[in-house]
Amino acid sequence: MRETAAAAVGALGRAAGAEKAARQGSGWYARYLWAFAAGQLVLVPVAVLWRGPVSAVVFGVTNALLVTGLSVYAARQRVVRRGFGVKHGVLVGSWAVVFALVAVLGFTVFGPSVPFAVGAALACALPLAVGAWTEMRGSV
């Protein structure tokens, strides 16, 4: 009986150690989100202000480079915190909803408006920045 209890205590200790290591090593996700948020400050004005095929190519290539770079960075990380998938899904989903709204409003209502592009860039970066901030607080 004592051996079973000792094994259980040992397993719980290893699990707590793994959780602590994951929490301490999860600062990479905050950096990922900050980079994604910063990318919005460039990509959203490109999407809203520019028109024509050149803008589509610049937007597509820049967005592809950002997503590819961040994906490679994320894939190389060793630890992922519990609940990461849900948090990432909520953050990216929130960003996607805001970006879709910005795109629709930019093309139908506001057109190439600089004030709208600035506000839209900040609005698209906001969910990612909030996620990065909460992730930084949680990894301490």
pLDDT in tens, 64-105: 888 788 878 877 787 777 777 788 888 888 988 998 899 889
User: How far is the CA of 29 from the CAs of 58, 68, 77, in angstroms?
Assistant: 27, 15, 9
| Whole-number pLDDT of residue 78 | 76
How many CA atoms within 13 Å lie on the side-chain side of 37? 19
How many other C-beta atoms can be found within 10 angstroms of the C-beta atom of residue 111?
Answer: 12
Q: What is the pTM of this model?
A: 0.73
Which of 20-24, 27-31, 40-44, 58-62 ranks highest by mean pLDDT? 40-44
- pLDDT for residue 56: 76
* pLDDT over 80 (residue 45): yes
Distance of CA 36 to the CA centre of its chain: 6
Task: Name the DSSP letter for residue 112.
Answer: S
CB-based contact 5:114 (threshold 8 Å): no
Inform me whether the pLDDT recorded for 14 exceeds 80: no
Tokens standing for residue 105: 């409003």
Residue 121 · residue 45 · CB < 8 Å: yes
Amino acid (one-letter) located at 83: G
Q: What is the CA radius of gyration of the chain?
A: 20
